[in-house]
Structures are given as C-alpha cells and as structure tokens.
Chains A and B, each alone.
Chain A
Amino acid sequence: GENVEQHPSTLSVQEGDSAVIKCTYSDSASNYFPWYKQELGKGPQLIIDIRSNVGEKKDQRIAVTLNKTAKHFSLHITETQPEDSAVYFCAAVARTDSWGKLQFGAGTQVVVTP
C-alpha cells in the first residue's frame, strides 16, 4: 500500500519568511495530493491540492509542486504570518475503481514567530 513520509516534523520560521514542507510517496499509482491545515482542536482544512497531470499549483501565498519521477511533492508558504501556525498534513491517494483512501503523512508543526 501507499506510504507517505513527511519532513520536517517541526518548523519554526520568522514572520515574513518562507516555509517549505516536503513529502514523498511510494505508490506510483497515486495521482492526487492534497494538503491540509489543522489548528488545535479542529478538523483538518483542505488548503491546496494537486493532481498528477500538473507540476505546480499556486493559490495566493501557498503553492504546491509535484515531481512524479522522484515521487515527491512540496508545500511552499511565502510571507508567513502568525495565523499560518498550525499542523500541516500532506496526503496521497490513488484512483482505483473509485477514489481510494487518503494516506496521510505524519504532519509538520509550523510555528511562525512575530
């Protein structure tokens, strides 16, 4: 089955700097890669996603890149703000006869200091 590894586990950045989180996946059949932001005591919120036929996607200050050959994808947050502090999860899923189960990474605790 799919295995998703996520690094780093914690990330401290100064407000205004950029943050990068990296994930690798094992199943070459995986073709959808979402990123979730989870604040303390809340459910995960979908912030951006990418499909395997696209190499990069951007939405304001966040962007995701995908390298299918190397089987890794990354989340980039620019001009970080204190409200970006949260746990971020990457995930991967392969479409079989229907969209299968999301396999999550272990999560990255991002702390943005003013």
Chain B
Amino acid sequence: GAVVSQHPSWVICKSGTSVKIECRSLDFQATTMFWYRQFPKQSLMLMATSNEGSKATYEQGVEKDKFLINHASLTLSTLTVTSAHPEDSSFYICSARDRRQGPEKLFFGSGTQLSVL
C-alpha cells in the first residue's frame, strides 16, 4: 500500500502550549488529506479534510481555531493543536488517498499520541 508518514509518534506538552503534527505522503501526491482523532478503545472520528492550496473543511463540533490545518504542498499537511489543554490529549491520525491504487483507498499514518499535562 501507499506510505503515509506521520511525525512525531508521540509528544508531551504543557497546558497552554501549541503542538504541530506533520503528515507526509512519501511516494505519492495527495491533494486531500484527512485528520482523525481517536480516544482509547474508541473508533476513529474525522476532524477535518485538508485540501492542498485551500482552506480545510472541518467537521461539525471541531474548532478550527483550536486545530489549525495547513496543506501547503501535495505531500505535506500539518495539524497544529493550539493552546493545548488536557482534554486535547488523544491519538491523532492522518490519512490520504493514493489515486494510483484506486480513488477510494484510504491509507493511514502511524498516528501521534498527544499528552497534555
């Protein structure tokens, strides 16, 4: 399958600070990437759709000023959690479609475990 690289794999930060998570498509170009959030023992929840060169589309209930998304190139999308608080602690996962393998196949990164103290 296609390779989606996510960095860092885990991060610990103090309350009130900002954290940036990177998502890269290593061997393909992705005009669209997706950011998910997952709480322990729960399913994946779509937060936002990242569009290269334009604004991200956020799901209902997701604060766009809290979760800043930038998709500046065809291989990189970033998610910045601003002014993080303990309730933002979660597993964040990005994904992208590799159209060479079919328009519908979605590949995920390895995830980032964020812990806010």
Contacts and interface: CB of A to CB of B under 8 A. Distances in A.
Contacts of A25: none
A104 B46 CA distance: 9
A36 B93 CA distance: 14
Given A41-B111, A43-B93, A49 B43 contact: no
B43 A107 contact: yes
Interface residues of A, number: 22
A29 B34 CA distance: 22
Contacts, number: 52
Contacts of B97: 99
Given A41-B111, A41-B113, A99-B97, A46 B105 contact: yes
Contacts of B6: 43
Nearest to B6: A43
The DSSP consensus for interface residues of chain A is strand
The DSSP consensus for interface residues of chain B is strand
22 contacts: A41-B111, A42-B111, A43-B4, A43-B93, A43-B108, A43-B110, A43-B111, A44-B93, A44-B108, A45-B1, A46-B105, A46-B106, A46-B107, A51-B104, A89-B43, A101-B34, A101-B46, A102-B46, A104-B44, A105-B43, A106-B43, A107-B43
Smallest CB-CB A-B distances: 8 pairs: A43-B108, A43-B111, A32-B104, A104-B43, A43-B110, A44-B108, A99-B104, A43-B93
Interface of B: 1, 4, 6, 34, 41-44, 46, 49, 93, 95, 97, 103-111, 113
